[in-house]
Amino acid sequence: MQVLADPAPIWLTLKLASVVTVLLLVLGTPIAWWLARTRSRMKGVVGAVVALPLVLPPTVLGFYLLLALGPSGPVGRLTESLGLGVLPFTFAGLVVGSLFYSMPFVVQPLQNAFEAIGERPLEVAATLRASPWDTFWSVAVPLARPGFFTAAILGFAHTVGEFGMVLMIGGNIPGKTRVVSVQIYDHVEAMEYAQAHWLAAGMLAFSFAVLLALYAFNAKNQVGGAR
């Protein structure tokens, strides 16, 4: 029985998830901080936009991103004018699509962690003449560390498991955009159930291990915080 013949989709998936997770933490942290602290009327609008991937079918989001990033879309025309070409059906396009689709899985845990800090620690830092920048890095970030861990785990795992979005924006190009979820679909379509089983079982084991580690980490923090 032939097992997994091509490890390229696995490495491409891990590469995509790693890049997207780092970028999501960089981009999602200020968004989450703003959502946790602001009293602006726009908070609901921004929060709803961030959470859209939770309720939208991935093919819908992928379709509109495909239009926006394509040669006739505003972003596509911009990237072409800059000499970057168009992003659909490239690894960069997969990254952009995954950023949008996995955004709520990073922003929402961070927002909850920042809100759980409360006002008191920040007020104490202000009375010690700490600047907002120092307060954020010296007080807020350390206290929200469990939220960062949860956000990173969920963002990585969700990106690994994407299918509809990556298929719409990246297609199925071997070595360039064919990730594990698309490879499983290819195996099933070709009735190669043994190969599909090995990949699917690996995804199942990975997802279970991630959730188990996350629940164990949260339980440990709750016990530690209760002492």
Per-residue model confidence as pLDDT tens digits over 24-68: 999 999 999 999 999 999 999 999 999 999 998 888 999 999 999
Q: Are the C-beta atoms of 182 and 163 separated by less than 8 Å? A: yes
pLDDT at 83 over 60: yes
pLDDT at 129 (0 to 100): 83
pLDDT at 1 (0 to 100): 41
173: Cβ–Cβ under 8 A, 6 or more apart, which residues?
89
Which three-class secondary structure string do you get for 118-151? Answer: CCHHHHHHHHCCCCHHHHHHHHHHHHCHHHHHHH
The average pLDDT across 2-19 equals 81
Distance in angstroms between the alpha carbons of the first and the last residue of the chain:
54
Phi, then psi, of 84 in degrees rounded to 5: -95, -5
Write the pLDDT tens digit of every residue in 105-158: 999 999 999 999 988 888 888 888 888 899 899 999 999 999 999 999 999 999
CA 101 to each of CA 49, 61, 80, 104: distance values in angstroms, whole numbers, following the listed order: 11, 8, 24, 8
CA 169 to each of CA 9, 66, 83, 99, 214: distance values in angstroms, whole numbers, following the listed order: 16, 6, 20, 12, 30
More confident residue, 222 or 21: 21
More confident residue, 5 or 188: 188
Report how far residue 106's alpha carbon sits from residue 24's, in angstroms, rounded to the nearest whole number.
7
157: Cβ–Cβ under 8 A, 6 or more apart, which residues?
17, 206, 207, 210, 211
The pTM of the full predicted model, rounded to 2 decimals, is 0.87
